[in-house]
Amino acid sequence: MPEELQGDELSQGYGSPKPIPYVPYASSPQLPGVPSYIGSGEANALPPVPPVLSSPPQASIVSGGSSVQKRSRQGRWITISILAVLLLAAVASFFVIRYVSRSTPDKTLDAFCNALQQADYQSAYDQFSAKLQHTVSEAAFAAALSQDKVTACTHGTTGDSANSVTNDLKLVHASKGINNDVVMLTKDSNSNWKIDDIYKQT
């Protein structure tokens, strides 16, 4: 029986087959800092997915809004400060202009003298107080001075702290005549200084 002989010869020549030794599966190399998720009974488990947090974007939006509000407040304070400075400057300028342009006894006498030298008797008459205008009319005043025109007019200097002051007035006429007069000035209800009386020095 050839087949049997061949089988015996094969078994006698090679002997019985040896069992293959057990080789365990080599685990994949562990990377440093990466946790291992393979444990007993969890070979196919997946790593947990971290939850998506929306807090950081909201915090960024809130932070950006706070910065914008801060800049807006700073802008408002700068604008208010500039307006306050401009307002103070305007008020100060108003009082300075009012002080410089205020009526004084010397300004009234300057206007009176300039008008007399230019033969502008109406303007000179306007420097009289209401009481003095009731004493002499503009026509009589102009007629008296037009007969011997004033060529020079000078006066002294006075303050304006009181409600009435006196000053010296010197008129030089075309005829070379000279009048050394005393002028009394008063402040009217509008705080304008007016000539209230003129009389010769004694």
The answer on pLDDT for 65 being more than 90 is no
What residues have CB less than 8 Å from 122, skipping those under 6 apart?
Answer: 115, 138, 142
First-to-final CA distance of the chain: 186
- What count of other Cβ atoms lies within 10 Å of the Cβ of residue 141? 18
9-18, 87-96, 172-181: least confident range: 9-18
Residue type, 184: M
The answer on pLDDT for 91 being more than 80 is yes
CA dist., res. 83 & res. 32, Å (int): 66
Average pLDDT, the chain: 78
Question: What percentage of the chain carries pLDDT values higher than 70?
Answer: 66
21-30, 49-58, 65-74, 162-171: least confident range: 21-30
51-55, 76-80, 96-100, 144-148: least confident range: 51-55
Structure tokens belonging to residue 32: 């440093």
Q: What's residue 10's pLDDT?
A: 44
CA dist., res. 195 & res. 202, Å (int): 19
DSSP secondary structure string for all residues of the chain: -HHHHHHHHHHHHH-SPPPPPP-PPPPPPPPTT------TT-TTPPPPPPPPP-HHHHHHHHHHHHHHHHHHHHHHHHHHHHHHHHHHHHHHHHHHHHHHTS--HHHHHHHHHHHHHTT-HHHHHTTB-HHHHHHS-HHHHHHHHHTS-EEEEEE-----SSSEEEEEEEEEETTS-EEEEEEEEEE-TTS-EEEEEEEE--
What residues have CB less than 8 Å from 112, skipping those under 6 apart?
Answer: 124, 127, 153, 195
Q: What's residue 15's pLDDT?
A: 53
Q: What's residue 196's pLDDT?
A: 96
Predicted confidence band at 41 (pLDDT cuts at 50, 70, 90)? Answer: very low
The answer on pLDDT for 90 being more than 80 is yes
The per-residue pLDDT for range 167-187, each reduced to its tens digit, is 999 999 999 999 999 999 999
Predicted confidence band at 69 (pLDDT cuts at 50, 70, 90)? Answer: confident
Max mean pLDDT range (12-16, 29-33, 131-135): 131-135
